[in-house]
Chain A
């Protein structure tokens, strides 16, 4: 083997090792911060009386914007859940984004929609709005029927018609818990500089859903969905709680976030062509506030829950992760000026580099790592024992992080009441690191390839609806 190749191998090994240490060090650090923050939050919760908060007339009216594209399977449950929220004053704006299925008809039949005039109060550019409807039986339910854009375009249309200081963006495949909105709005009550807040997303597959709420929490039956339960624990309980404690919240999930309408309008609304619109708008809000010296806070609150369906089939999961990765790269490239830029404080020095290096480049480094390792082993350059111990260590570190996430859930919210579910989750922490994470790496790597091939489609997602065995199907 040539000396040059050996040098390249050595360099790559150094990069891969640094990546490994950085990634896992970051997750471990975030977990430690999350542990402290969650313990404190759990204690704090006992001194917060949600009913009292609701009864306080100061809770501001909120408009819930729900972009819907071909959501005939789950839209009814989602709308019912939104109409039954425990919140003093809220409007629900469903934006039918040019659905080709019966979404609009189902909503019209079920909620007795009639055409009603409604004037837009902002002028963010969107695909044309065809009609606006209001429900005769729920006057706070409106449906905006527009030509197909994308999710971001549909939310922008909703923002144009929003009449309240705050809006909540969620999805038609999500079910919000009854207190979710008041809990998510709480940061706005406690800190006037709050411009956005997000809540936790949990996996609805396997749960019993009825009358717009999750009535019984159970683990999903499909293994792929089970793995995503742990993945979501890690992302929210160990990740975002830690970010919030460090004040580096760079992502308010598109499935459930509350925003200040005027600021979102000022930054021009969501990026209509973006497929990573939730990350993109959060970064743009950070940038806008910092560039204009506006004191602000973007918060994550771990107890308001939005339940969502996750893919149960590999193909659908692959499409979803491919799209997420493309959205991530697109946003990172667009806002690359933030990377290691002191002007943006912790966001520029910690949060953005994390997304840029570990989340965006990570799948590339990991995928190339598998190839290089194989080559090195085949050519006899690497010791098989070192390779094996390194792989084993990677798996065990992943296991530690997953188990910590499950323990954090157990320490705080304990949403899975059956002990058998807990035991399953712990066993899955091992299996997840043997299979699931590698599958995700593959799909995320595919996302990188798709991005550079110029693929920017959203992909179609047909849903089976809540409470059905099949979950999400392609």
Chain B
């Protein structure tokens, strides 16, 4: 034992490589212990912070109920909030406020109002995530007084902040900002077109004139025009029909052609049927799908033959849409006959017949 220990110390003190290995092991052990301690400290700190925050929130929520019931003034509630707890207070109000409308939301806004100027001042110098959070709060609790700040944030260097600002502007009834958002839409090119068009549509029919301008504007990138067309479709904007016809006739890129056909399917009239019929034989599968769907929505029984032909289309997606259109058109009688005849798409037709 003694000799082994002696040998160990000989190696430990004489061999530099061993000393490095030993030192590294000790450093790594210290590192492991430090991280372990950090995890434990984090746990206790966060438990304590969570407990304190829960207690504060319970107190504020109760105060807010009093304000909503008229037993207390919003200013009095705000006066109970320490500056250090401002972020937690506003976060709570935001979480409550986003579910409220009308007079109730106004009360929550009053409770937040004394602190919002500080929030605006603090915007500069914060990281992107914090700025986004602040803009989100302003969008719900202080939009009317601070819409200029939110508008400015559309041009924020951070895409996250810009998107949160756009989201704050794209709310029900805020159509006055449609042009501002459309001007900055290129910031959100990577976003899903479907999400953007839904957000634009949320602004309401008041946004339609601005959307129609953007749809007709050839300087706009194709994806913007497609997004706008989809928003108009969701808004059922009947005034866009002539625009959609003109676009289809101009043979635009296929994405825009599809969006225009879908728009036409939503708001078009029977006089547009020949135009749609012509697109049913387009080389692009997506265009055929849009044309078939639109045809089913607009046409009368006269178009059943065209739809029947499309059930035999090489693309099952076109066939499925043609079958759905035909079902809408004549209630399924023809489809049942085709299914019974042993048509190659019989299984698909049966599926469509059973769909609600």
**A binding-site residues for B, Cβ under 8 Å:** 40, 43-44, 46-47, 49, 51-52, 56-60, 116-121, 139, 163, 188-193, 383, 385-386, 389-390, 392-393, 396-397, 399-400, 403-404, 406-407, 410-411, 414, 419, 422-423, 426, 429
Say which residue of B42, B47, B160, B195 sits within 8 Å of A56 (CB atoms): B195
25 contacts between A and B (CB under 8 A): A43-B127, A51-B98, A58-B198, A59-B195, A117-B348, A118-B347, A118-B351, A119-B347, A121-B316, A190-B163, A190-B190, A190-B192, A390-B21, A393-B28, A400-B31, A403-B36, A403-B39, A406-B36, A407-B35, A407-B39, A410-B39, A414-B46, A419-B43, A422-B43, A429-B36
Most buried by B among A43, A117, A392, A423: A117
The 10 A-B residue pairs whose C-beta atoms are closest, nearest first, are A58-B195, A119-B348, A117-B350, A47-B132, A58-B198, A43-B129, A57-B198, A117-B351, A403-B35, A407-B39
- For B10, give the chain A residue with the smallest CB separation: A385
What B residues does A406 contact at CB under 8 A? Answer: 35-36, 39
What A residues does B166 contact at CB under 8 A? Answer: none
Contact B356 A47 (CB under 8 A): no
Contact A393 B195 (CB under 8 A): no
Contact A52 B317 (CB under 8 A): no
Quote the shortest CB–CB distance from A422 to chain B (angstroms). 5
Say which residue of B133, B196, B197 sits within 8 Å of A46 (CB atoms): B133
Contact B35 A397 (CB under 8 A): no
Measured CA separation A396–B316 after assembly (Å) = 59
Say which residue of A60, A190, A426 sits within 8 Å of B194 (CB atoms): A60
CB-CB contacts below 8 Å: B36-57 with A = 36, 38-40, 42-44, 46-47
Known: A58-B196, A191-B190, A192-B192. A393 touches B24 (CB 8 A): yes
B136 contacts chain A at the CB level, 8 A cutoff: yes
- For A297, give the chain B residue with the smallest CB separation: B190
Say which residue of B40, B46, B197 sits within 8 Å of A426 (CB atoms): B40
Contact B191 A117 (CB under 8 A): no
Most buried by B among A49, A58, A191: A58
What A residues does B132 contact at CB under 8 A? Answer: 44, 47
Quote the shortest CB–CB distance from A50 to chain B (angstroms). 12
B167 contacts chain A at the CB level, 8 A cutoff: yes
Contact A400 B32 (CB under 8 A): yes
What B residues does A44 contact at CB under 8 A? Answer: 129, 132, 160
Measured CA separation A287–B132 after assembly (Å) = 36
Quote the shortest CB–CB distance from A408 to chain B (angstroms). 9
Most buried by A among B18, B133, B190: B190
CB-CB contacts below 8 Å: B167-209 with A = 167, 189-199, 201-202
Measured CA separation A337–B8 after assembly (Å) = 49
Known: A116-B351, A392-B25. A404 touches B320 (CB 8 A): no
Measured CA separation A297–B198 after assembly (Å) = 23
B11 contacts chain A at the CB level, 8 A cutoff: yes
Contact A49 B21 (CB under 8 A): no
Contact B25 A389 (CB under 8 A): yes
Hey, what's the 0/1 contact readout for B90-108 against A, CB within 8 Å counting as 1?
0100000010000000000
Contact A426 B39 (CB under 8 A): yes
CB-CB contacts below 8 Å: B58-91 with A = 91
Quote the shortest CB–CB distance from A411 to chain B (angstroms). 6
Beyond A118-B347, A400-B28, 13 extra complex contacts between A and B, CB < 8 Å: A47-B132, A47-B164, A119-B320, A190-B191, A385-B11, A385-B18, A399-B28, A403-B32, A403-B36, A403-B39, A407-B35, A410-B39, A419-B47
B7 contacts chain A at the CB level, 8 A cutoff: yes
Contact A393 B316 (CB under 8 A): no
What A residues does B38 contact at CB under 8 A? Answer: 407
Quote the shortest CB–CB distance from A435 to chain B (angstroms). 17
Known: A191-B190, A403-B39, A426-B36. A46 touches B195 (CB 8 A): no
Measured CA separation A193–B198 after assembly (Å) = 19
Known: A43-B127, A117-B351. A407 touches B42 (CB 8 A): yes
B220 contacts chain A at the CB level, 8 A cutoff: no
What A residues does B338 contact at CB under 8 A? Answer: none
- For B27, give the chain A residue with the smallest CB separation: A396
Measured CA separation A419–B50 after assembly (Å) = 14
Most buried by A among B28, B35, B320: B35
What A residues does B320 contact at CB under 8 A? Answer: 119, 121, 163
Quote the shortest CB–CB distance from A197 to chain B (angstroms). 13
B354 contacts chain A at the CB level, 8 A cutoff: yes
What A residues does B195 contact at CB under 8 A? Answer: 56, 58-59, 189
Quote the shortest CB–CB distance from B50 to chain A (angstroms). 9
